[in-house]
Structure 1
């Protein structure tokens, strides 16, 4: 089972999820990392779930068109949309407040 390490507001939250887990779906049904992950639409349109991947990016698929549209140059800095990621390997994520990301 993949381990998710999630950094936000100076705190670290760690938990395991089943393989092929989407963190926004899990947050929506009040499982890890709820209530820590900020998210909105869950469809790649609002970018509220943007996270910087600190470790494990090599296990993720390439960014899709929604991520490219919403994140632009931030993709090169390791940012991804959590709603577009299905986690199969250990990953370390950091989420800044919305104001910091934009």
Structure 2
């Protein structure tokens, strides 16, 4: 099972999730071990769930059109939308207090 390390507000949370887990879906049904994940729509429209991928990006698919539209050049800085990611391998994410500005 993939290990997710999630960093937010100076805290580090670590837990295992089932393979092919979407973090926002799990948070929405209260089955996600990281209660501090910021999210809203779950459909790639608002970018509230934007996270920096600190490690494990090599296991993720290329950004989809929603991520490209919402994040723009922030993709080059390692940002992704958690609602668009299905976690199949270990990953480390950080969510900043400020949302990344889309370009």
Structure 1 length normalisation: TM-score?
0.95
Specify the alignment match of 1:81 in structure 2.
Answer: 81
SS across alignment from 1:66 = helix
Q: Which has the higher helix share?
A: 1
SS across alignment from 2:71 = helix
Specify the alignment match of 2:17 in structure 1.
Answer: 17
Contact 1:5 1:92 in 2 (8 A): yes
**Which moves more between the two structures, 34-43 or 19-28?**
34-43
How far did 1:100 drift? 4.8
What is the CA–CA distance in structure 1 between the aligned matches of 2:34 and 2:6, rounded to whole Å?
A: 11
Instruction: Detail structure 1 runs of 4+ shifted over 3 Å in the superposition.
Output: none
What is the CA–CA distance in structure 1 between the aligned matches of 2:18 and 2:54, rounded to whole Å?
A: 20
Specify the alignment match of 1:96 in structure 2.
Answer: 96
How far did 1:30 drift? 1.1
The gaps in structure 2 that reach 5 residues or longer are: none
Change (3 A) 1:50 1:100: closer
Aligned residues: 101
Match runs of 1:1-102 below 5 Å: 1-97=1-97, 99-102=98-101
SS across alignment from 1:44 = coil
Contact 1:53 1:80 in 2 (8 A): yes
Structure 2 length normalisation: TM-score?
0.94
**Which moves more between the two structures, 23-32 or 62-71?**
23-32
